[in-house]
Amino acid sequence: MKLLTAWNDAEQSILCVTYLPGWEWEDMNRNQSVEQAFFTSVNHRVDVIADFRGTELPPGGVINLPHIAKSPAYVQPNSGIVVLVGSPDFISPLVEVYK
């Protein structure tokens, strides 16, 4: 698995998901159950930092948009904001996919 998921603070209110070089869409899909466990382990708002630094967008972005929209960071009742951190080489194509 090429994603690391961990709390970013002692209060367990910020979840950091780090995408490692070479990640694929299937890694993101498999990690959803991991993220779900973090969200359900607390009863307060959870913000998410998705760290894509040093990675590239895998092929198939448009096909995988429905999977992204169903991820715990967007559908959990206690989900807060989602911050995408990455290089311009990653974020620009991702924004184009969403457009």
Q: Is the pLDDT of residue 95 over 80?
A: no
| The pLDDT of residue 20 | 95
| Residues recorded for the chain | 99
**CA torsion, points 59, 88, 78, 74, in degrees to nearest 10?**
-30
| The pLDDT of residue 84 | 85
What is Dmax (Cα atoms) for the chain?
36
Arithmetic mean of pLDDT, 66-77: 85
Q: Is the pLDDT of residue 99 over 60?
A: no
Contact predicate 39/48, CB 8 Å: no
Q: Is the pLDDT of residue 93 over 90?
A: no
* Residue in the structure block whose two tokens are 């924004």: 95
